[in-house]
Chains A and B, each alone.
Chain A
Amino acid sequence: MKTLIHFLLILTVGIASAQRGIDPTDEDVQLAKKLREQYGKEDVAILESSDMVSFGISKDGSKVTVSNKIREKLMNINHRADIHKYEFYDSESKIEQFSLKFRNDKKANFMVQDEFYKDSDLFYNDARVKHMAVDFPVQGYTYNYELDKSYNDVKYFTSLYFNDEYPVINKKISIAVPKWLNVELREFNFSGYSISKNQTVNSDGETVFTYELKNAPAFYKDENAPGRTYVYPHILVLAKSYTKDGKENRLFTDSADLYKWYKSLVDMMEDDPSAFKAKVDELTAAAKSDEEKIKNIYYWVQDNIRYIAFEDGIAGFKPDESQNVFTKRYGDCKGMANLIKQMLKAAGFDARLTWIGTKHISYDYTVPSLAVDNHMICTLLYKGKKFYLDGTEKFGALGVNAERIQGKEVMIEDGDKFIIDKIPTSNTEVNKETYAIRLAIDNETLKGKCTKTFMGESCAEFLYGYNRFGQERKQDALQNYLSLRNKNIQVSNVVTSDLKNREQQLKLDYDVAVNNKVSSFDGEIYVDIDFMKEFNDFDFKERKTDYEFDYKSDYLSSVTLQIPAGYKVTKLPENINVSGKDYDVAITFTQTPKEIICKKNFVFKNGVIKTTEFTAWNDFIKNLNTIYNQQIVLSKS
C-alpha cells in the first residue's frame, strides 16, 4: 500500500522554493481593503510603478538601442490572488531581468516559463513570453517586481502607457534623453487626466522627462472596444535622428523616412510574375471590360488565398513574393496585397502596395513610427480614380471598403516618393439590411412569408459566415440561422439569391410558422408579434468604452399581422422615436382596417455608440424592452 507521503512527494517539491516572506502590515491590509472598495473587480493593484527609459548606441554605431527598466510594487486587494506575471519579447528585444521580491527584499523564486507566444491569428510568430504564476496568500500581501528589457533598435520601441492590466495607483514614466539623440515624445489622450510633467538634467547631462499619473484604472476588458491608442493616455517615442562622431544620422524624422525604410524592404523582393501569368490570362481572357478583369483578379485572390501569417523577424514587415503566395495559395495581408498588385500589373494595370493603420489605430501618417500602421492593401489607380483592394476581405466587392479601413490614411508607394490619401467613408445606406414578414393567425400559430435582404458589409458578413460551413451542413446552418435555433420557429421553402455573389443584394425568401406566440384567454387573443426582439440585451450598464460595430448599419424590420375576421385591436404599443449623435431608432405601430404593421428601423450612422451616449441609449433599451414585453390584444368586435 502506498502511503500518503509517497503519493505526495512529487506534489510537494514546489513548496520549498515558495518560502514565505513576511505578513503584510496592518497599514497594508487597511490600504488593500480601501483599494478593493475602489477597484471592485480587481484582484491586484500596482501601488507604485516606475518605467525608466534610456538610450544607447549599438557597438557598430548603426543603431540606437533602448533600455527599459520597470519597477513595480504589486498588492493583493482581494482575499487572495493568483496571477500570471508575464512579459513579451522577440528577435528585436531581450529580457535581462524578470523577477519578484518579497516585502522584506528577499528574492521570491517563482518558476519562470519561457515559451512561444501563441496567437490564433498568427500561424507562426517569433514573439516569446516569459511568465510566472504568482500567489498572494492574504489581503494586503505585496511583491516588488523588477523587469529589465532592452531593444536592439529604437524603431521597435514605440510607445509608453500609464495604464496596465491592473489598476496603477502611482505611475511614473521617466525618459532620459542624451544630447546626441533627437527624440520627440508625443503625447496622446492626455486631456482629462492630471498627468504631471517635469524636466531635469541628470549627472550624465541627459535631459530626463518625467510624467506622473495617479489612479490609472486597469485596461478595460470590453469587447468591441476602440483600440488602446484612442482610449488611454500614452507617449509615442519618436526617435528622429542621432549624432555620432559629429555626423547626424536620420532615423524616422518624418513619414518620408518611414516610407524609405518600407521601400528598402520592398526593393529586396524578387517578384516573378511568370509563375501566375497563365492564371492572369485565364482570368482576363473572357472579360469584356477592364472592370471585369480587375474584379476577376481581386475576387480570385479573396477566394483562393487563405490567410496564414508568419511573423518572423523582418517577415513581419516585408511582403512575401507574389509567386510564393500564388504557389502556396496562402499568405498574410502583405502577401495578398502584393499578389493582387503583381497580378493586376501583369494584366496591364497600375497597382501599388499600400500601408495602412486600420481603424484600431488612431494615428495618421504625420506620426513617423512603426506604430502607425498594421495592415497592407493594394491600391489600383485607374482612370484617375483609386480603388482599394484588400485581399483579406472575403466577399468584399470592388469599390466597397470595409469599415475597418474607412476614413483611414493610406501610404501608397510611388517610386521614391509616396502618396498619402484617405480611404473614403461610406454611409449606412450601402450596408442596408431588411427583414419583412407578413403573418396571419392560424389556430394559435403565426404563419406567413418572410424576406430578408442584405447589402454591402452586411452581405459580406453573411456570406463569410455561411460559406465557412461544409457544403453538407450549409442547409442546416441556414435553417438554424433563420429560425434563430428556436424550436417554435419553423422555416421552410427557403429560396436564396446566389450565395457566392458578393456584388448584388442578397435575398432570402422563406415561409415561416411560429408556435406559442399566440394565446387565447377568455375570448381575447394575445399576440407576441415581436419575437425577433432585436437589441433587447444590448445595454451598456457596465461598459466603460465606446461600443464599435463591425460596420455602419441600417436595419429595417417590418412585421405585418392580419387582424382575424371578427376581431378588433384594443390597444397597440406606443411608438418610439429616438435620435442620438450615433443612432436613430424609430419604432412605429400602425393599424389599417385589416392589418397591424410594426416597423422598426435601427440606424447606427457612425458604426459606434460613444460612452457619452450610453445613458440615453440605456434608457431607450429599457423602453424598447417595455414594448417587447407588450402583447397585442385582439378582442371580438
Chain B
Amino acid sequence: MKKIFTAVLFLTVGFTFAQDMEEVRKMFWETKDEGSDATAVPDKYKNESAVVLYEYDYFYYPMFYPKQGFRKRIKLQDAAAVTEFSEFSYKELSSRSRSVNNNMLGIKIIKPDGKEIIIDTQKEARQVDDDRKLAIANLEVGDIIDYYFYAIINDVNSIFDTQESTLSGGYPTLALRVELQLDKKLFINLNSFNGAPEFSDLPPGRKGDRRLEIRAKDVPKNETQRWLYPLVALPSYKWQVSTKPFGKPDKEVANGKVKKKFTKDDMMFSFEEKYRPFGDMQHIEKFLKKKTFADDADKVRQVYYFTRHFYYTQFIEAFAINEAKIFNPFELYKNPIFLDNETEFINHFMAFLKDNKIDYDIVVATARYNGPLDDVLLGPNLDVMLRVNTTPEPVYLKYFSPFTNADQIASELENTDAYVLNVFKRKRVTDVEKVRLPSSTFQDNHSKVVSNVTMDSGMTGLKVKRESAFSGHLKEDEQSNRLYFYDYVDEDYKKFETESVLERVKRDKKREQYKKEYEALINKYKDKQRENLKKSISDEYDLKIEKYEYTVKNTGRFGRNEPFVINEDFDIENNFVKKAGNNYIVEIGKILTGQIEINQKEKDRKLDVFMPFPRSFENEIALEIPAGYTVTGIEKLNKNVTNPTGGFTSTAKVEGNKLVIRTNKYYTNYYEPNGNWPKMMDFLEAAYQFTQEKVLLKKA
C-alpha cells in the first residue's frame, strides 16, 4: 500500500512539474509579442558579433517562492558568438536559483531557412555535482538561438527583493520587455531613470496580481569604461518588492499603484522607529572611568576607537586562530559582544551618547553611484551614520572596518544630499531634514611618495628606497591591501589595555603549545604578505622587482589626518638605464610608476566622468648623480598643466649631487561633465608624458 501511495505521489509531483514546464514554455515561446519572432538584423548591427532580436525578462513575486525568468532570441553573426552560446550551465544562468533540478531551460535553434530545432534540454543535460551542463548541437554562424530560463529564486519565506539594472546588455537589443508580476498584497517601489521608458500598468494577472512592464526598442550595447556609474549615466530601472512598505503606503499605493518617489515623509515613516539607543554599556563605562577628555568631541572620538577595538578588532586574532583550527578561542571571552552590522553599531553608540548626554542625529544617505537622493527607492541603497553635534565641528561616525576613522564620511556619501533624522532629547526621532553632506578636497585625500634612487654598481639598474604616506580616502584601501591583522592588533591591545588571545590562556603548557602554532601561522602569513607586497609594487612599475623589503612606519588608524606610512627598499634590475656610448640615459620618469594611458577610443568619450573623490598624488624623486657624471636634459621634466578639473605639475633641479624632482597630480572634483573631459585628458597626458622622460648622465 505504502509503495503505491509513494508511486502515486511521485507521479503527481512529476506531473505537476511537467505541467509547469509546459506552462512556462508557452509563456515564453507562444505569447505573441512585438518583435518576438524577429529574424532580421538592421544593417547598422551587421558587424556585431551577435544581436539580441528580442529579450523578455520576467519577474514573478507571489507571497511565497518568487520566480525569475527570461527569454533571449539572439542572432549569432560570427564564430565567437557561436562559441559563446555553444555550452550552457544551469548554475551560470542563475546564481540565485534554489536548486538547479527545478530550473527550466528551453532552447531552440532557428536556421537561416526558418527551420526550427528544439533541443530536449531535460534529456541532453548532464548533471555535474550541483550543476547541469548542456552542449548545444547543430549551432552555426547565421543561426538564431532562442532560449528561456525560469527558476525559483532563493528567498522563500519573506518576500524581499530588489532589482537594479541598465536596459543595455552585452549585445545590442532590438526589442526589450521587462515584466513584473506581484501579489497585490505586496508593496512595491519602482521607477525608471536616465531616459529609460516609464513602466506601464498591465491588466491584472492571476488572483488579481499587479502587472507592470517596461518596453524599449533598439537599445545599444553596454558601455564599459573607466570612471562610469552605469546606474547614474545610462537608462536603467529599479524596484524593491516587499511584504512591508518601504516609505509611507499612501492611498494610491494601497490601491494597486506603485510608489515612484521616496520623500521626507517616507523617510520619517520608515526610519522613525528603526534605531534606538540600546546596548550593554559596562565596557564603555569602564573605559571612560580611566580617561579624561579635552571636550565632548575628543570623548566621542576616543570612545569610537575603543568601540572599534572592543567590539571588533579584539576578536580578529581569535577568528584567525579558529579558522586555522589551532584551538577554540571563543570560550576565553566572557559574554563577548561583536558588532557585526551597521544597525548594531548605531544602536550601541546611540546608547553611549544618550547616557553621556551628547546630542546627535542620524544621517541617512545614498552612495553617489546609486544616483541622487531624490531618486532613492530601495532600502539597501541607504547607508546610515551618526552625526554627533559637538562644537565647533560635528563628528561623523560610521560602522567600522579595522581602519575606519572618526570624522571620516564614506567617500561615496560625501558631497551628496542626505536626510538627517533629528533626534529629540537623544531618544526619539522627531523630524527629518535634508542636508548636503560635507565634501573632502584633493588636499585631504593625498598621497606622498618620496623615492631615493641610486644607480647600482654595474650602472645597469636602480636601487630605490621609498616612503609612501597615504591620507584621507586614499588611506583605507592601502591599509586593507597591505596590512594584515598582526600589523595592528597589538597597538590596540596596548592602547586599550586588553589582552591578546594567548594572554587569555591561563594554563602555561597549553599557552606554550598554542603560541608555537600561532607563531607558525603568523610566519606563514608574513611570507605571503611579503610576496603580495612585492607583486603589488611589480604591478605598479609593470616589471620584475628584486630584493624587496618593507616596514610599516605608521598604521594610520587613529585619526583622519594621520597618514598610513610604509617604507620599501627594492632593486629594479636591467630596466630604466640605457647605455649610450660613454654616457647613460636614465628613464627617471618611470619612477613615478604607471600612469593612466588614455587610448584613442577613450579620447572620444561621450559620457560624463564619475570619480570616487577628489585626490592628489605628490611625488619626490631624488636621483643620486654618480661621481664623475653630470646630468643633462632636465628641462623636459618640468611640466605644468593645470585647469579647473585638476593638474599635473613637475619641477626638476640639481641639488648637490642629487637630481630632485617634485611632482603633483591632482583631481579637483568628484564629477566632471563630459565637456570637461578634454581638460582632464590634458593633465593625464602630461602625467603620462612625464613617465616617458629621460635624463642623460654624461661622463665628465
Do A and B actually bind? yes
A residues with a Cβ closer than 8 A to B are 1-5, 7-8, 11-12, 14-15, 18, 23, 78-82, 115-116, 118, 123-124, 135, 137-139, 303-304, 306, 308, 310, 327-330, 467-473, 476, 487-488, 515-516, 519-522, 526, 528, 537, 570-571, 625-626, 629-631, 633
A308 B523 Cβ-Cβ under 8 A: no
A528 cross-chain contacts in B, Cβ below 8 A: 578
Give B591 Cβ to nearest chain A Cβ, in Å.
15
Pick the contact of A116: B128, B578, B696 (CB < 8 A). B128
Partner pick for A519 among B133, B140, B347, B633, CB 8 A cutoff: B633
Least CB distance from A277 to B in Å reads 17
Q: Is there an interface contact between B77 and A471, defined as CB atoms closer than 8 Å?
A: yes
CB <8 Å contact, B50 and A2: no
A3 touches B688 (CB 8 A): no
**Residue contact A80 to B78, C-beta cutoff 8 Å:** no
Interface contact B78-A471, CB-CB below 8 Å: yes
Q: When the two chains form their complex, are residues B520 and A137 in contact, meaning their CB atoms are under 8 A apart?
A: yes
Q: Of all chain A residues, which has the CB nearest B331? A: A5
Contact with A along B593-629 (1 / 0, CB 8 A): 0000111010000000000000000000000000000
User: Are A476 and B322 interface neighbours, CB within 8 A?
Assistant: no
A526–B698 Cα gap in the complex (Å)?
A: 13
Stretch in B335-343, B427-435, B489-497, B533-541 with 4+ CB within 8 Å of A:
B335-343
In the assembled complex, which residues on chain B have CB atoms less than 8 Å from the CB atom of A515?
A: 692
The smallest beta-carbon distance between A562 and chain B, in angstroms, is: 19
B513 proximal to A (CB < 8 A): yes
Q: A124-B133, A528-B578 are in contact. Are A629 and B128 (CB under 8 A)?
A: no
Instruction: Quote the shortest CB–CB distance from A301 to chain B (angstroms).
Output: 13
B325 near A2: Cβ-Cβ < 8 Å: no
Instruction: Tell me if A472 and B279 are in contact (CB < 8 A).
Output: no
Helix, strand, loop or mixed for chain A's interface? mixed
Binding site for A on B (CB under 8 A): 47-50, 77-83, 86-87, 126, 128-129, 133, 135, 137-140, 278-280, 315, 322-328, 330, 333, 335-338, 340, 344, 347-348, 460, 513, 516-517, 519-521, 523-524, 527, 544, 574, 577-581, 585, 597-599, 601, 632-633, 688-689, 692, 694, 696, 698
CA distance A521 to B580 in the complex (A): 11
Q: Closest B-chain residue to A138, C-beta based? A: B520
Chain A residues in 8 Å Cβ range of B325: 14-15, 18, 135, 137
Expressed in whole angstroms, the minimum distance between the Cβ of A569 and any Cβ of chain B is 11
Question: Contact: B696 with A487, CB < 8 Å?
Answer: no
Taking the nearest CB of chain B, how far is it from the CB of A315, in angstroms? 12
Nearest-neighbour CB distance to chain A for B633, whole angstroms, equals: 5
Could you give 16 example pairs across A and B, Cβ below 8 Å?
Answer: A1-B280, A1-B348, A4-B336, A5-B336, A79-B519, A80-B517, A80-B524, A137-B324, A306-B83, A329-B139, A330-B86, A468-B83, A519-B633, A519-B694, A629-B579, A633-B580
Q: Is B137 a contact of A629 with CB atoms below 8 Å? A: no
What residues of chain B lie closer than 8 Å to A328, measured between beta carbons? 135, 137-138
Pick the contact of A526: B49, B520, B580 (CB < 8 A). B580
Q: Which residues in B have their C-beta under 8 angstroms from that of A118?
A: 128
Question: What residues of chain A lie closer than 8 Å to B133, measured between beta carbons?
Answer: 123-124
Chain A residues within 8 Å of B86, by CB: 306, 308, 330
Taking a contact as CB atoms under 8 Å apart, the answer to whether A471 and B524 are in contact is: no
Taking CB atoms, residues of chain A closer than 8 Å to B50 are 470
Q: In whole angstroms, what is the CA distance A630 to B80 when docked?
A: 43
Select A629's contact among B344, B519, B577, B598, beta carbons within 8 Å: B577
For B326, list chain A residues within 8 Å (CB).
137
Q: Residue of B at shortest CB range from A476?
A: B601
Q: Which residue of A lies closest to B325 (CB)?
A: A18
Known contacts A3-B335, A470-B50, A487-B597; is-contact A79 B524 (Cβ 8 Å):
yes
**For the complex, what is the distance from the CA of A122 to the CA of B696, rounded to whole Å?**
56
| Residue in B49, B78, B333, B513 whose beta carbon sits within 8 Å of that of A23 in the complex | B513
Query: How many whole Å from A20's CB to the nearest CB in chain B?
Result: 8
Provide the residues of chain B in CB contact with A519, threshold 8 Å: 585, 633, 694, 696
Closest to B691 in A: A516
CB contact between A327 and one of B137, B323, B330, B523 (< 8 Å): that residue: B137
Are A473 and B49 within 8 A (Cβ)?
yes
* Cα-based distance from A446 to B474 in the complex (angstroms): 39
Nearest first, the 10 A-B pairs at minimum CB distance are A470-B49, A328-B137, A4-B336, A79-B523, A516-B692, A631-B580, A80-B520, A470-B80, A521-B696, A137-B517
Indicate if the CB atoms of A630 and B580 lie closer than 8 Å: yes
User: CB-CB < 8 A to B135: which residues of A?
Assistant: 123-124, 308, 310, 328, 330
Docked-complex contact B330 and A12, CB < 8 angstroms: yes
Given contact pairs A5-B330, A80-B520, A629 touches B138 in the complex (Cβ within 8 A): no
- CB within 8 Å for A1 and B87 given contacts A330-B137, A633-B581: no
In the bound assembly, the distance between CA atoms of A366 and B214 in angstroms comes to 69
Task: Point out the residues of chain B lying under 8 angstroms from A487, CB to CB.
Answer: 597-599, 688
CA distance A176 to B578 in the complex (A): 65
State in angstroms the CA–CA spacing of A63 and B298 once bound together. 83
Minimum CB–CB distance from B604 to chain A (whole Å) comes to 13
CA distance A208 to B558 in the complex (A): 71
- In the complex, the answer to whether B340 meets A7 with C-beta atoms within 8 Å is yes
User: If the complex has contacts A12-B328, A12-B330, A137-B517, are A3 and B47 also in contact, measured as CB distance less than 8 A?
Assistant: no
Q: Which residue, of A123, A471, A626, has the highest number of chain B Cβ atoms within 10 A? A: A471
| Residues of chain A within 8 A of B527, CB atoms compared | 79
Contacts of A570 in B (CB 8 A): 581
Asked whether A522 lies within 8 Å of B460 as measured between CB atoms, the reply is no
**CB–CB A471/B80 < 8 A:** yes
Q: Report the separation of the CA atoms of residues A7 and B311 in the bound assembly, to the nearest whole angstrom.
A: 13
> Which chain A residues border B279 with CB–CB below 8 Å?
1
Cβ contacts under 8 Å, B82 to chain A: 306
CB neighbours of B689 from chain A (8 A): 516
Nearest Cβ on chain A to B507's Cβ, whole angstroms: 15
- Is the Cβ of A469 less than 8 Å from the Cβ of B520? no
The distance in angstroms between the C-alpha atoms of A116 and B133, with both chains bound, is 13
Which of B79, B523, B601 has most chain A Cβ within 10 Å? B79
Q: In the complex, which residue of chain A has the Cβ closest to the Cβ of B127?
A: A116
Q: Is the CB of A471 within 8 A of B47?
A: yes
Interface centre among B48, B138, B338, B580 (most CB of A within 10 A): B580
Q: Given A5-B336, A118-B128, do A15 and B328 touch, yes or no (CB 8 Å)?
A: yes
B344 touches A80 (CB 8 A): no
A8 touches B585 (CB 8 A): no
The reply to whether A3 and B524 contact each other, CB–CB distance below 8 Å, is no
User: Is the pair B340, A2 in contact by a Cβ cutoff of 8 Å?
Assistant: yes
Which residue on chain B has the smallest CB distance to residue A79? B523
- For B126, what are the chain A residues with a Cβ–Cβ distance below 8 Å? 124, 310
Given A3-B337, A4-B336, A80-B521, 4 new contacts (CB under 8 A): A4-B330, A4-B338, A123-B135, A137-B324
Contact (A3, B338) CB under 8 Å given A124-B133, A470-B49 = yes
